[in-house]
A and B are shown apart, each in its own frame.
Chain A
């Protein structure tokens, strides 16, 4: 590795870590101003997120859907599209999985699981491709249309879950009929974490290889850098845009399937938990690099996992971790301005 590349690598690590450290300082001052001991809070966050097997298990379970929804932002971002509608793809994917899972009860469990995953990924992919196609063929801004599509997806979801698809047995929490215990995704071998995390890790690795080490991924990045240059070079820009949207949407749909088939066993309002928005945050912190998504999702998942412990031990509101997350994200975004401005990371003969 040349000095220049080493400098750039050090820069991409040092700047976000510095921003994260300053977020801890800012939030610590905030806590101290409220009469709390920041060190005690940080120690508890560490205990709740990463200190024991149990807390790791909690962290990993929360990180699993976030990894997948982050891919739904990161992949379209590589072709220059800013999709914020992962929540809609997740919700519809979960609904599709629940319907398929219930409908196929009695079939071999492996077939059911594969059918659930395929259905969820197809509907998630179509939902995001819709936003990409509107952008490419009609010039409709994909950020706004994906946001609108999310609201439409949630309305359709609520309509179906509380109406035609409602299981009469679900009294106080309207849900679809359960998919049955045999059809639930099991735990990863040797770990107390469900298969969703495995899907996320495999997809992240595959997408990293695709984007950074194949010609097709190179075409993604060319289009993302300058779509006009891509068109002049003869790249099928429209198809690349739609494929990136389809891959991202499939990941978000799969997140919905995982939530249904590994956690809830049915589709209900618990699916609308903001994983789509969490994914946006993670993708931006990871600078849309599929491999960087994993550690960032672990941090965000760990933070979420420690919320309960802060509430029990220190009687802090469960929104505490959300404030820390917001402060950290704003500072990390602001730190984008520092790239290329810090002397020691720049090549000498620049």
Chain B
């Protein structure tokens, strides 16, 4: 039993949520931008894994984790661009292209990342907010990573930009009505391809968190499907970047609940807690959909709404 006893559970969940939620946050923000432009990218899982591998490899070669982070972002943007361009072709199904990107991204990452499984690359530093406390558990829970802070700022910025900037309005218009966008003289394909590439960039950053901060190494089993979950997260968050932040915390916390309860002796149901976010997302979809009405808040051009 831990010194904090039962109080250790919420603390561990909070700490775990902050620690685990960062990749969720980045992939969901990326998916949010992509879906707001009217396209879905199921391949963020492949981008996430590629970002993790690229970030780790570049950090190892250059000795600077921030350069690794940048490289992961670029790799993610390139793969996002591939998806964007393939989906811009006529009659290409964006769901299938996403599955293809998932295969391609994970394959490339495992192929090129083979030599980097063993060596130890420099990882990102963490910001300690728990210095005031003597309890090592509280200190551990308040070890905040820089990407979490960046992600939070990004969620705010995006929410603001979607409402208040020309760029945000154009993306939303393209996503809600391509006819309106065309009438206004904006290139629908160009905006969507750009939004998909930007979404890929963010997913690449989310991947680099996995290899450069927590767990902080590169291996083939690094991702536990965070990229695939992005789609569910964005629905859960109703296509709102700020809600994406809370949803990411919730998804991360649900994953941390199992281990936290294990530390106080409750060992069963571990996997069922992991499934809780999916059950919740499905519940929300069932509750808000009807045969005559799609999900509220969903971009009108999104293929999953038709």
Report which A residues bind B (CB closer than 8 A). 82, 84, 134, 136-141, 143-145, 147-149, 151-152, 155-156, 158-159, 162-163, 277, 280-281, 284, 317-320, 322-327, 329-330, 333-334, 336-337, 339
CB-CB nearest 5 A-B residue pairs: A326-B104, A155-B275, A322-B107, A319-B110, A337-B89
- A264 CB to closest chain B CB (Å) equals 20
Q: Would A325 and B285 be within 8 Å (CB), given that A159-B270, A159-B272, A330-B86 are in contact?
A: no
Residue contact A325 to B103, C-beta cutoff 8 Å: yes
Which residues of B lie under 8 Å from residue A318 when comparing CB positions? 110
Residue contact A141 to B103, C-beta cutoff 8 Å: no
Q: How far is the CA of A320 from the CA of B107 in the complex (A)?
A: 7
Chain A CB within 8 A of B136 CB: no
Residue contact B286 to A138, C-beta cutoff 8 Å: yes
Q: How far is the CA of A316 from the CA of B74 in the complex (A)?
A: 26
Chain A CB within 8 A of B166 CB: no
Chain A CB within 8 A of B170 CB: no
Residue contact B291 to A139, C-beta cutoff 8 Å: yes
Q: Would A333 and B107 be within 8 Å (CB), given that A138-B290, A139-B291 are in contact?
A: no
**Chain B, Cβ-Cβ closest to A329:** B100
Residue contact B96 to A333, C-beta cutoff 8 Å: yes
Since A141-B294, A144-B235, A319-B106 are in contact, a sample of 12 more A-B pairs with Cβ atoms closer than 8 Å, ordered by chain A residue number, is A139-B293, A140-B285, A144-B285, A151-B232, A155-B271, A162-B271, A325-B107, A326-B105, A329-B99, A333-B92, A334-B92, A336-B91
* Complex partner residue of A155 from B46, B107, B272, CB under 8 angstroms: B272
* Complex partner residue of B107 from A163, A319, A337, CB under 8 angstroms: A319
Interface size class of B (residues with CB under 8 A): 35 or more
Chain A CB within 8 A of B118 CB: no
| Binary interface encoding of chain B residues 248-270 relative to chain A, with 1 for a CB under 8 A from any of its CBs, else 0 | 00000000000000000000111
Residue contact B111 to A337, C-beta cutoff 8 Å: no
Q: Would A141 and B304 be within 8 Å (CB), given that A148-B232, A317-B110, A333-B86 are in contact?
A: yes
- B40 CB to closest chain A CB (Å) equals 9
- B41 CB to closest chain A CB (Å) equals 13
Q: How far is the CA of A281 from the CA of B95 in the complex (A)?
A: 11
| Binary interface encoding of chain B residues 86-121 relative to chain A, with 1 for a CB under 8 A from any of its CBs, else 0 | 100111110111011111111111110010000000
* Complex partner residue of B275 from A136, A137, A144, A152, CB under 8 angstroms: A152
* Complex partner residue of B104 from A134, A163, A323, CB under 8 angstroms: A323
Chain A CB within 8 A of B274 CB: yes
Binds A, one of B61-69, B127-135, B172-180, B276-284: B276-284
| Binary interface encoding of chain B residues 217-239 relative to chain A, with 1 for a CB under 8 A from any of its CBs, else 0 | 00010000100110110010000
Residue contact B97 to A330, C-beta cutoff 8 Å: yes
* Complex partner residue of A139 from B82, B220, B294, CB under 8 angstroms: B294
Residue contact B97 to A333, C-beta cutoff 8 Å: yes
Chain A CB within 8 A of B289 CB: yes
Q: Would A326 and B285 be within 8 Å (CB), given that A156-B275, A333-B86 are in contact?
A: no
User: Which B residues, 208 to 223, have Cβ-Cβ distances below 8 Å to chain A?
Assistant: 220
Residue contact B95 to A82, C-beta cutoff 8 Å: yes
Residue contact B271 to A317, C-beta cutoff 8 Å: no
Which residues of A lie under 8 Å from residue B100 when comparing CB positions? 281, 326, 329-330, 333
Report which B residues bind A (CB closer than 8 A). 42, 46, 82, 86, 89-93, 95-97, 99-111, 114, 220, 225, 228-229, 231-232, 235, 268-272, 274-275, 278-279, 281-282, 285-286, 289-294, 304-305
- A248 CB to closest chain B CB (Å) equals 16
Which residues of B lie under 8 Å from residue A317 when comparing CB positions? 110-111, 114
- B37 CB to closest chain A CB (Å) equals 18
- A148 CB to closest chain B CB (Å) equals 5
- A331 CB to closest chain B CB (Å) equals 9
Residue contact B304 to A333, C-beta cutoff 8 Å: no
Q: How far is the CA of A84 from the CA of B228 in the complex (A)?
A: 12
**Chain B, Cβ-Cβ closest to A136:** B291
Residue contact B110 to A138, C-beta cutoff 8 Å: no
**Chain B, Cβ-Cβ closest to A330:** B100
Residue contact A143 to B225, C-beta cutoff 8 Å: no
Q: How far is the CA of A281 from the CA of B107 in the complex (A)?
A: 14
**Chain B, Cβ-Cβ closest to A155:** B275
Residue contact A284 to B93, C-beta cutoff 8 Å: yes
Residue contact A149 to B272, C-beta cutoff 8 Å: no
Residue contact B286 to A336, C-beta cutoff 8 Å: no
**Chain B, Cβ-Cβ closest to A341:** B90
Q: How far is the CA of A289 from the CA of B7 in the complex (A)?
A: 57
Residue contact B271 to A143, C-beta cutoff 8 Å: no
Residue contact A140 to B286, C-beta cutoff 8 Å: yes
* Complex partner residue of B305 from A141, A145, A151, CB under 8 angstroms: A141
**Chain B, Cβ-Cβ closest to A142:** B304
Which residues of A lie under 8 Å from residue B109 when comparing CB positions? 319
Residue contact B103 to A277, C-beta cutoff 8 Å: yes
- A217 CB to closest chain B CB (Å) equals 22
Which residues of B lie under 8 Å from residue A144 when comparing CB positions? 231-232, 235, 285, 304
Residue contact B108 to A323, C-beta cutoff 8 Å: yes
CB<8 Å pairs between A and B, sample of 30: A82-B95, A140-B285, A144-B232, A145-B282, A148-B278, A148-B281, A148-B285, A151-B229, A151-B232, A159-B271, A162-B271, A277-B102, A277-B103, A284-B99, A319-B109, A319-B220, A322-B103, A323-B108, A325-B103, A326-B100, A327-B104, A329-B100, A329-B104, A330-B97, A330-B100, A333-B92, A333-B96, A336-B89, A336-B93, A337-B92
Q: Would A280 and B99 be within 8 Å (CB), given that A143-B304, A144-B232, A148-B278 are in contact?
A: yes
Q: Would A322 and B232 be within 8 Å (CB), given that A137-B291, A141-B305, A156-B275 are in contact?
A: no
Which residues of B lie under 8 Å from residue A145 when comparing CB positions? 282, 285
Residue contact A147 to B114, C-beta cutoff 8 Å: no
Which residues of A lie under 8 Å from residue B286 when comparing CB positions? 134, 138, 140
Residue contact B103 to A329, C-beta cutoff 8 Å: yes
Which residues of B lie under 8 Å from residue A136 when comparing CB positions? 291
Which residues of A lie under 8 Å from residue B304 when comparing CB positions? 141, 143-144
